[in-house]
Structure 1
Amino acid sequence: MEPVVVLIVFAVFLGAVSQRVTGMGFGLVSGPFLVLLLDPFSGVVLVNICGIVASGTVFARTWREAEWGSFWKLSLGALIGTIPGALLAAALPAPSLQILIGLLIIVSLISSMVIGRIGKTMPANFGTKLTTGFLSGTMSAAAGAGGPAVSAYAVLTKWDQRTFAATLQPFLVVGTTSAIVFKAVFDHGAWPQLAAPAWIGIAAVLVAGLVGGDWMSKKIDSSTARVVMIVLALGGGIATLVKGLIHLG
């Protein structure tokens, strides 16, 4: 197996573990590294593909706690938001898109940390849910990371963590599926060009990461896991931004 494929497989594994332990983070952790290893187009699509599997697997265990009224409103916004996100990704040259992805990941992570400390709230109504879904869908299509917008919304509306995490999983499945569809429509070359052994390896480590994450979630504190996820995601986001700036020059 080629070294780059080994690194891709490892990035997928890290994302799967993060998704199972924290309820989100596949796109944040794996996204920037897959963009670096592949390209900003097919890298994001691969994140979306794996994200569907990861969120779907977690959802199979948490569906009873999902808040379906919020899910439909958020999902409607995400379906709309993936259209401009996919159009933007298809229109930008690779270096510019790498810069955009890096900035989106860095800003979204910092914003979610700041929002968690300011103590302000906002109403949980149709408008705020639709807007949150729209922002999440746009980021999912453009950068493969639709979770932070919904996470910030959960903090600002004081959404119960258990019902939020359960609702987030089917929402991410809808958002990432929509992102793949529209990216395929607007950019026919976005599908990752990987050999069959690479796809098999990705599927295997995806399962292994989810199983390992399930075991780890019972052994380590979720706040510790979240800190590790943020550090990895910030590092990947910065590396993606720097690579884009270098190639742009």
Structure 2
Amino acid sequence: MSEAWTTDLVLGCAVLLGASVQRLAGIGFALVAAPVLVLLLGPGDGVTLSNLAAGAISAAGLLGSWRQVRLTAMLPLVLAAACTVPAGAWVAARVPAPALLIGIGVLVTLASALVLRGVRAAALRGVGGALVAGATSGFMNSAAGVGGPAVSLYAVNTGWTAREFLPNAQFYGVLVNAFSLAAKDLPVLSGAAWWLVAAALAGGAAAGRLLAARVPETRARQVVLGLALAGGLTTLAKGFSGLG
């Protein structure tokens, strides 16, 4: 098997896993898949593909739950994210690759640890909390492909149930990833790679839907965040190795 096909296969597996956990837990595509995509494609194309795939899987999940979206509650999050996405894209386009890998690794690792611990903070409640979470999420999503944790922390501090969180997270994921893509060029992939990504997204969505009825939400999130921590640390190590 050629090196290109091996890379495409690993890419497809990362997208499949990320789509499965996103459909299962409401967050997780970027946390699980973005570090792998960045290592395979480089920070620019890796983050952009993560934005594209995460937006697509969020849209698929939203089809059956859009009536449950709290538009009033989501408005501050979306507006704040729209304001900081350009700054994230600017940073991603200008920071050298090793430094950007280190930044992505730190953000993924830190975000995973914070969500895993369920950090509580008064600054993440109410309209002010929504603005803080949205602004942080928009920047992180555009720069590193990981905008979900900030919104997840806002949901925890606001007291949303898992049932309330899922459709709103998917709605937010569609918009923030659309904003991020609008600030960038599409990733450069082979035709075979694009077909693999599409198939992996469809397969992951189906697998996640099946698993959602069988895996407790708490266990699913622990698995997602454990994988994210491993990916973040690997990306961090790759960035430091490139500094020399």
User: Paired residue for 1:38, among 37, 41, 52?
Assistant: 41
Q: CA deviation at 1:123?
A: 6.8
The superposition leaves residues 52-92 of structure 1 with CA deviations (integer Å, 9 ceiling, x where unpaired) of: 11000111121121111011111001101111111111110
- Structure 2: runs of 5 or more not aligned: none
Report deviation, 1:229: 0.7
2:203 partner letter: A
Q: Deviations over 1:158-203 (max 9, x none)?
A: 123322221111111111111111133xxxxxx3221111101110
Equivalent residue for 2:129? 128
Aligned to 2:217: 222
1:186-234 alpha-carbon deviations (Å, 9 max, x no partner): xxxxx32211111011101110110011011111111111111111111
Residue 88 of structure 1 is aligned with which of 84, 87, 91? 91
Q: Shift of residue 126 of structure 1?
A: 2.5
**Which residue of the partner structure matches residue 56 of structure 2?**
53
Identity %: 37
Q: Which of 186, 189, 192 is equivalent to 1:197?
A: 192
Residues 119 and 81 (structure 1), Cα distance of their counterparts in 2 relative to 1, 3 Å cut: closer
Report deviation, 1:120.
5.4
Matched, 1:103 2:106: yes
Q: How many residues matched?
A: 241
**Contact (CA 8 Å) 1:65, 1:162: kept in 2 or not?**
no
Q: Please tell me whether the aligned partners of residues 124 and 154 of structure 2 are also in contact (alpha carbons under 8 angstroms).
A: no
- Partner deviation per Cα, 1:119-165 (whole Å, 9 max, x = no partner): 55557432221221110000100111110001111111212332222
Amino acid at match of 1:166: P
- From the superposition, tell whether residues 169 and 35 of structure 1 become closer, same or farther in structure 2 (CA, over 3 Å): same
The answer (yes or no) to whether the contact 1:121–1:157 under 8 Å persists in 2 is no
Q: What secondary structure does 1:176 align onto?
A: helix
1:235 aligns with 2:238: no
CA contact (8 A) 2:115 2:149 kept: yes
Q: Which runs of 5+ in 1 are unaligned?
A: 185-190
TM-score by length of 1: 0.93
CA RMSD between the two structures: 1.4
How far apart in 2 are the matches of 1:120 and 1:140? 21
- What does residue 156 of structure 1 align with? 157
Q: State how far apart, in whole Å, the 1-side matches of 2:192 and 2:211 are.
A: 28
User: What residue in structure 1 maps to residue 16 of structure 2?
Assistant: 13
Counterpart of 2:105, as a letter, is G
TM-score (norm 2): 0.94
Counterpart amino acid of 1:65? Q
